[in-house]
Amino acid sequence: MTIKTPEIESSKNDGDIELSLPLQQDLTDWQTGHEFTVVGKPHSRLEGAEKVTGRAQYSADVRLSGQLYGAVLRCPHPHAKLISIDTSEAEALPGVHAVISQNDQFDIDWYSEEAPLFSDQLRFVGDEVAAVAAVSTEVAADALRLIKVNYEPLPFVTDMDQALADDAPAIHDGDNRVEEDSEYERGDCAAGLQQADITVENEYRTQTALHTALEAHGATAHWSGDELIVYESTQGVHAIHGLLCEKLGLPMNKVRVIEQHMGGGFGAKQTLWKPTLFAALLSRKAGRPVQLLLDREGENLATGNRNSTLQQVKLGASNDGKLTAIKMTCRINAGAYATAGEASNVAGIFQHLYHCENVKTSQVRVYTNTGPAVAFRAPGYVEACFALESAMDELAHKLEIDPLELRRINYTGRDQTGDKPWSSPDGLKTCYERLDEEFGWSQRKAPSSEGSIRRGYGLAAHEWMAGMGNPPAAVFIKLNTDGSADVVTGTQDIGTGTRTVLAQVAAEAIGLPMESVRLLLGDTAIGGVAPVSQGSFTVPTLAPAVRGAGENLRRQILEAAALLLETDATTLEIKDGEIVSTEGKHKSLTVADVCDELAPQSLQAHGSRRANPTDTTIRPFGALAAEVAVDTQTGEITVIRIVNAPDCGRILNSKTANSQVIGGVTQGIGFALTEERMVDHNIGLVLNADLEEYKIPTVADIPTITHAEVNLPDLNANNTGAKGLGELPLIPAAPAILNAIFDATGLRFTQLPINRARVLAALQAQQETAE
Amino acid sequence: MKISFTLNGNAVSVNAEPDAPLLWVLRDELRLTGTKFGCGIAQCGACTVFVNGSTRRSCVTPASSINGGSVTTIEGVNGPEAEAIQAAWEKIDVPQCGYCQSGQVMSAVALLKAKPNPTDEDIDNGMAGNICRCASYVRIRQAIHDAADLASNRREIAADSNVSEATNVGLATASEGASA
């Protein structure tokens, strides 16, 4: 085939092809009913083969020439003053290349309190005292034992309630409150409670939970001349990049952060932690690459946790079930320091989930001598949903209104804190319908009893404050001369499927098959701006930018094709890499042919994510139901089945969406039944900083979990109609399970987790009351 | 001490402390990083390898104990069960973050070798020592069932080709086995 390209030649200006680059327009044609070829399809992960053969390289797998291995010495006391530290014997040990400690006098501060990197005030068991780099992990561990530290133990408080007592030891200056109480009120809550025909009131406690990513925190740092290259296990390569530059006083073009695969984060890897900076400092001191990965004890003590809470909740309602008042006061255990990243917003769900004119919330974070808390998959909402949805269940029971009906009675399509509509006002309503269909809630059996086994059903509604996207984001697509495309982004794939989902969006927008698209991410030196993968932000932020770049590129390809075919670009389309007429007729021209004609020039396009709309509040919602069995002889709780119907807008990939839903629900089962970091408050020590006694669900604990797809495109949110999903499914699991336990046994638990001991104690108390 | 063993079919020798964990020998000395560190106390299964044909948590296996033995890692695991497990894993997209999956695959291969048609209970017993925080368990269970079907088909095919002069009786037995 010979194609004349005089028009293209004549349009050249000193070697550049001048094709009009349209500005990103309103891309609203992805309406419901739009026929997709790639988006929405259950595409398997692009890196699947690498992950089942051990070839995927995680940050922990980086092996550089001359690489040393690091280890961290930690404070064994909950509160202590460091009097002196002597590292000379460790430094003299053969194989040790660098030791860092307070003696180095780094001018670097840490945490929101701006504590020194190596402080002489040690505020929790696991607080970092020194770090070493040696030729092997064993030598590094030997070196730690040779460091002599003289501590002066100080009075401590690890219990949140005791920390607010007048005579409690001060962890920082002041009264152990991290900040002033955060207050909110709309309407008149006291009056609303007065008007109520019925009230329910309870105190709820949620436990400290640990993220437990199987790849611990850590990094490999390598100085190449004056440039620092860091391979980090992180949810945000750009965030680590910026913070490293800030802490080390380096310009941004001298630091590069890389991550291709990461072994789980769940919130704890959304900010920079000390071990990464230690790796950089040790590497600089040793003159060799240093890998510093935490052991499980360090991981469990000092890289964040889901804060425990104490929530006092009071609901008022009229006899027809309408809420007249919601009141919530809570304390949050911040640990010894306030960390960066998402704050735990316990109050949010009380303000948003139900229509109610009179709402009052108050929350305050409290310091204790325990490891600092950090966001953990839906921070605050997981804790709060347990309290609110338990209280709603109690209200439904007392009013003898079906729990689902009570939630419908209190429905709202508006954000009552900003007096704006939700971006999808019917989203939660649709979740209720889908849940009812898939679980058979309305047709469920009455709670039953057979032998010692009692069965029951429970549900919970939920929402998540984020998931709306967190602009800006910038994406660049380069069309290769063979018609394949490289999509260059600055995001990262934390195991959620980002790489695959964004490649689908690019393929769809350009008109290429999936195999012609490569999605690049996880390298700050090549990718444009992108947010941390937290808050379920990644897809709703990046997908619209990828789509914008893809559509721009498609228009350029069509303009070039139109010149070659001597026709109008508006009469052409791209399907599966081929140029076709808008009626679908073949034109004997492919994208590869167009590229070949343009060679050695090539096409490229940019896309960006604009700000979120201000006239609506974007919100993902959902509803979840559980069936459980309780053995009244052993106290064993068996979750039999769970259905979750989450509204995440348009589902871009049903396979990765299913994985997110099932995974989130499973973590919720762990939160409800087994997971709890335990501290002996008398001695201040953590009792289960390992994976033997900190119990997360295994394959044997998992019931049938069904993702009831809602798939309601939210085009008020962004031009792809997709909202974030990652955090949503974890939020309602615990309250639905606990409400099912109530249905089965009549026992209302207000403290998590519910283990056998607590069930048996409650059953005994129930029996004694009956007698 | 000098430790010599067979690694994925090849003879290797390393100098290591007798009590150094096999995991570190594999990852740091031999640079086979497919086997992962998760907990260090044999509670998560991410470091699962085969030692002399049986699953072993390499994080608590002293290097000296494998002297003269054989070790198979995710990089070298093969055979009909391994092929079936990895194919099934990929087909239904078992991994999420994927960090635990080397260990999951090794345990699943061992399970399938021991029990060619495992029940859900067999799977729970055989796989409960392998933690997945992303919670890919539902798909792990499904993929093991899928792999069992696939592996039994492959064994039938292999059996057929071994007896290329197969009698009618032999073929009939094979096809019954495949449909069972």
> Which of the two residues, B180 and A79, has the higher pLDDT score?
A79
Structure token digits, residue A759: 């069930």
A727-738 pLDDT, tens digit each: 999 999 999 999
Structure token digits, residue B25: 């020998």
Final residue before a domain boundary, out of A578, A608, A638: A608
CA-based nearest residue to B22, from B9, B43, B44, B7? B7
Confidence of residue B157 (pLDDT cuts 50, 70, 90): confident
The contacts of residue A303 (CB under 8 Å, 6+ apart) are A211, A216, A217, A268, A273, A294, A371, A374
- A137: pLDDT strictly greater than 90: yes
pLDDT of residue A726: 96
List Cα–Cα distances, B106 to A171, A203, A213, B31, in angstroms.
47, 46, 20, 18
Angle subtended at Cα A645 by Cα A374 and Cα A668, rounded to the nearest 5 degrees:
35
Residue with tokens 């000390």: A274
In this structure, are A622 and A765 located in the same domain?
yes
Confidence of residue B178 (pLDDT cuts 50, 70, 90): very low
**Using CB atoms within 10 A of its CB, is residue A570 exposed (0-12), middle (13-18) or buried (19+)?**
exposed
Hey, is the C-beta of B115 within 8 angstroms of any chain A C-beta?
no
Residue A249: CATH number of its domain: 3.90.1170.50
**Alpha-carbon Rg of chain B, whole angstroms?**
18
pLDDT of residue B179: 34
H or E segment at A33? none
Separation CA A443–CA A437 (nearest Å):
9
A182 contacts A109 by C-beta, under 8 angstroms: no
Q: What letter represents residue A78's amino acid?
A: P
Hey, is the C-beta of B129 within 8 angstroms of any chain A C-beta?
yes
The contacts of residue A42 (CB under 8 Å, 6+ apart) are A653, A654, A655
Residue with tokens 């769940």: A266
Is residue A581 in some structural domain? yes
With an 8 Å Cβ cutoff, are B97 and A692 in contact?
Answer: no
CA-based nearest residue to A335, from A298, A309, A315? A309
Find residues 61-100 of chain B whose CB sits inside 8 Å of chain A: 73-75, 86, 89-100
Is residue A180 in some structural domain? no
Hey, is the C-beta of A699 within 8 angstroms of any chain B C-beta?
yes
In this structure, are A579 and A636 located in the same domain?
no
**Alpha carbon B74 to its chain's center:** 7
Residues written for chain B: 180
- A549: pLDDT strictly greater than 70: yes
- Tell me which residue in A261, A266, A665 faces B98 most closely, judged by beta carbons: A261
- A128: pLDDT strictly greater than 50: yes
In this structure, are A125 and A92 located in the same domain?
yes
CA-based nearest residue to A380, from A263, A281, A468, A267? A267
In this structure, are A282 and A428 located in the same domain?
no
Angle subtended at Cα A104 by Cα A102 and Cα A110, rounded to the nearest 5 degrees:
55
Kindly state the percentage of chain B with pLDDT values over 90. 83
Chain B neighbors of A263, CB-CB under 8 A: 36, 97-100
pLDDT of residue B162: 62
Hey, is the C-beta of A318 within 8 angstroms of any chain B C-beta?
no
In this structure, are A462 and A535 located in the same domain?
no
Hey, is the C-beta of A47 within 8 angstroms of any chain B C-beta?
yes
In this structure, are A132 and A279 located in the same domain?
yes
Residue A395: CATH number of its domain: 3.30.365.10
Mean pLDDT, rounded, of chain A? 94
Hey, is the C-beta of B153 within 8 angstroms of any chain A C-beta?
no
Count other Cβ atoms within 10 Å, centred on residue A230.
27
Query: If DSSP codes are grouped into helix, strand and coil, which group holds residue A628?
Result: strand
- Tell me which residue in B24, B36, B137 faces A666 most closely, judged by beta carbons: B137
Chain B neighbors of A49, CB-CB under 8 A: 90
Final residue before a domain boundary, out of A252, A283, A302: A302
Final residue before a domain boundary, out of A557, A585, A608: A608
Residues written for chain A: 771
With an 8 Å Cβ cutoff, are B33 and A60 in contact?
Answer: yes
CATH for B2-72, among 3.40.640.10, 3.40.605.10, 3.10.20.30, 3.30.460.20?
3.10.20.30
Chain B neighbors of A51, CB-CB under 8 A: 95, 98, 101
A614-641 pLDDT, tens digit each: 999 999 999 999 999 999 999 999 999 9
A340-368 pLDDT, tens digit each: 766 789 999 999 999 999 999 999 999 99
Is residue A167 in some structural domain? no
Chain B residue whose CA is closest to A668: B135
Structure token digits, residue A90: 């460790």
The secondary structure of chain B, three-state, reads CEEEEEECCEEEEEECCCCCEHHHHHHHHCCCCCCCCCCCCCCCCCCEEEECCEEEEHHHCEHHHHCCCEEECCCCCCCHHHHHHHHHHHHCCCCCCCCCHHHHHHHHHHHHHHCCCCCHHHHHHHHCCCCCCCCCHHHHHHHHHHHHHHHHHHHHHHHHHHCCCCCHHHHHHHHHHHHC
pLDDT of residue A131: 98
Q: What letter represents residue B55's amino acid?
A: T
pLDDT of residue A26: 47
DSSP A307: P
A362-393 pLDDT, tens digit each: 999 999 999 999 999 999 999 999 999 999 99
Q: What letter represents residue A447's amino acid?
A: P
Residue with tokens 């003898």: A400
The secondary structure of A278-292, three-state, reads HHHHHHHHHCCCEEE
Mean pLDDT of A523-544: 95
Q: Sketch the domain layout of chain B as residue ranges.
A: 2-72, 80-179
CA distance B99 to chain A (A): 5
User: Can you list the positions of beta strands (E) in A77-170?
Assistant: 80-86, 96-101, 109-110, 115-116, 121-122, 128-134, 148-153
Separation CA A276–CA A508 (nearest Å):
38
Hey, is the C-beta of B105 within 8 angstroms of any chain A C-beta?
yes
B69 contacts B12 by C-beta, under 8 angstroms: no
Mean pLDDT of A143-169: 97
With an 8 Å Cβ cutoff, are A702 and B134 in contact?
Answer: no
Confidence of residue A259 (pLDDT cuts 50, 70, 90): very high
pLDDT of residue B62: 98
Could you tell me the maximum CA-CA distance found in chain B, to the nearest angstrom? 58
A561-590 pLDDT, tens digit each: 999 999 999 999 999 999 999 888 888 999
With an 8 Å Cβ cutoff, are B96 and A663 in contact?
Answer: yes
B81-116 pLDDT, tens digit each: 999 999 999 999 999 999 999 999 999 999 999 999
Separation CA A132–CA A125 (nearest Å):
19
Hey, is the C-beta of B15 within 8 angstroms of any chain A C-beta?
no
Q: Which has the minimum average pLDDT: A399-413, A574-588, B45-59, B145-159?
A: B145-159
Chain A neighbors of B37, CB-CB under 8 A: 60, 216, 293
Chain B neighbors of A666, CB-CB under 8 A: 135, 137
- Tell me which residue in A45, A264, A266 faces B93 most closely, judged by beta carbons: A45
Separation CA A372–CA A400 (nearest Å):
43
Separation CA A290–CA A696 (nearest Å):
31
Hey, is the C-beta of B144 within 8 angstroms of any chain A C-beta?
no
Q: Does the structural domain B80-179 have CATH classification 1.10.150.120?
A: yes
Residue with tokens 């501590």: A151
**Using CB atoms within 10 A of its CB, is residue A17 exposed (0-12), middle (13-18) or buried (19+)?**
middle
**Alpha carbon A373 to its chain's center:** 15
In this structure, are A415 and A500 located in the same domain?
no
pLDDT of residue A340: 75
Kindly state the percentage of chain A with pLDDT values over 90. 92
DSSP A439: I
Which range marks the domain in which residue A247 is found?
A: 62-154+214-264+269-302
Separation CA A371–CA A164 (nearest Å):
18
A623 contacts A435 by C-beta, under 8 angstroms: yes
With an 8 Å Cβ cutoff, are B127 and A699 in contact?
Answer: yes
pLDDT of residue A22: 40
CA distance B13 to chain A (A): 18
The contacts of residue A515 (CB under 8 Å, 6+ apart) are none
- B167: pLDDT strictly greater than 50: no
Separation CA A712–CA A645 (nearest Å):
11
Structure token digits, residue B107: 């345990």
Chain A neighbors of B97, CB-CB under 8 A: 213-215, 261-264, 494-495
In this structure, are A446 and A480 located in the same domain?
no
Residue with tokens 């380069």: A478
List Cα–Cα distances, A463 to A211, A393, A474, in angstroms.
21, 17, 28
A405-462 pLDDT, tens digit each: 999 999 999 999 999 999 999 999 999 999 999 999 999 999 999 999 999 999 999 9
Kindly state the percentage of chain A with pLDDT values over 70. 96
Structure token digits, residue B93: 């997209």
Which residue of A52, A63, A538, A641 is the best one to mutate when testing the B interface, meaning the one whose CB has the most B CBs within 10 A? A52
Chain A neighbors of B127, CB-CB under 8 A: 698-700
- Tell me which residue in A60, A296, A663 faces B135 most closely, judged by beta carbons: A663
In this structure, are A448 and A497 located in the same domain?
no
Separation CA A415–CA B66 (nearest Å):
63
In this structure, are A393 and A367 located in the same domain?
yes
Domains: count for chain A: 3
A671-722 pLDDT, tens digit each: 999 999 999 999 999 999 999 999 999 999 999 999 999 999 999 999 999 9
Q: Is the preceding peptide bond at A753 cis, omega within 30 degrees of 0?
A: yes
pLDDT of residue A584: 84
Hey, is the C-beta of A545 within 8 angstroms of any chain B C-beta?
no
- A10: pLDDT strictly greater than 60: no
- DSSP result, A703-725: -EEEE-------TTT-TT-B---
- A487: pLDDT strictly greater than 90: yes
Separation CA B120–CA A703 (nearest Å):
12
- DSSP result, A457-504: EEEEEEE-S--S-----EEEEEE-TTS-EEEE-S----SSSHHHHHHH
A11-50 pLDDT, tens digit each: 233 333 333 334 344 455 687 777 899 999 999 999 999 9
Is residue A173 in some structural domain? no
A598-614 pLDDT, tens digit each: 998 899 999 999 899 99
- Tell me which residue in A45, A49, A296 faces B39 most closely, judged by beta carbons: A296
Hey, is the C-beta of B135 within 8 angstroms of any chain A C-beta?
yes
A646 contacts A622 by C-beta, under 8 angstroms: yes
A181 contacts A364 by C-beta, under 8 angstroms: yes
Which residue of A47, A640, A699, A704 is the best one to mutate when testing the B interface, meaning the one whose CB has the most B CBs within 10 A? A699
pLDDT of residue A238: 97
pLDDT of residue B180: 30
A266 contacts A654 by C-beta, under 8 angstroms: no
Active site residue A727: yes
In this structure, are A19 and A75 located in the same domain?
no
Q: In what order do the strands lie in the sheet with B48-51?
A: B10-15, B2-7, B70-72, B48-51, B54-57
pLDDT of residue B159: 74
Separation CA A705–CA A759 (nearest Å):
24
Active-site residue, from A342, A508, A559, A727: A727
In this structure, are A330 and A458 located in the same domain?
yes
